[in-house]
Amino acid sequence: MKAAVLRLADVDAADLRAVLGEYGLALEPLPAGVVIPGSYWRDEEAGLIGGVLYLRPDTPLHSALHEASHWLCLDAVRRTGLHTDAGSDDIEECAVCYLQILLADRVPGLGRQRMWQDMDAWGYSFRLGSARAWFEQDAEDARAWLASRGLLAFVEPGC
């Protein structure tokens, strides 16, 4: 049985497209049941090729924002060759998780509370046992990684 998480079909795709479009990432919705190009995990998980994020109606929003965050964390050279696997190291992966939580607040009907819930339901693993505890108490390194690359100011103006 699939985890009960919010999926693309649960929100207005135009809202997600608008948020991601602000950063230069294109959203390509696909019909139900087709294979998602560029999906690392396959099944319903989001796919990423170049500057395009591929989703189906059953794609979890946490997956969409996770892959979008990978794209945001890449420099121009890595974006050029991006196909399926962003090739991140551990600290960049943590930064990606942190960024997807921040982006969740920009998507109407999602928000960080629901993102934390969905990440836990899906099986994301954090030392403190939950996405929220990690974000609030143990993510200084992820935040510093993002700040050092100007990504916090990019996503959270005023930071």
Question: Tens digits of per-residue pLDDT, 45-88?
Answer: 999 988 899 999 999 999 999 999 999 988 887 778 867 777 77
Assigned domain for 133 exists: yes
Assigned domain for 31 exists: yes
Assigned domain for 3 exists: no
Residue 152 has pLDDT above 90, yes or no: no
- What total of structural domains would you count in the chain? 1
- Give the domain range for residue 37: 8-155
Task: Supply 23's token pair.
Answer: 């950063």
Assigned domain for 2 exists: no
Assigned domain for 121 exists: yes
Q: Name the β-bridge partners of 52.
A: 26, 49
Assigned domain for 1 exists: no
Question: Tens digits of per-residue pLDDT, 5-59?
Answer: 999 999 999 999 999 999 999 999 999 999 999 887 778 999 998 889 999 999 9
Question: Tens digits of per-residue pLDDT, 97-145?
Answer: 999 999 999 999 999 999 999 999 998 888 888 999 999 999 999 999 9
Query: Quick one: pLDDT band at residue 1, thresholds 50, 70, 90?
Result: very low
Report the predicted TM-score, pTM, of the whole model to 2 decimal places.
Answer: 0.91
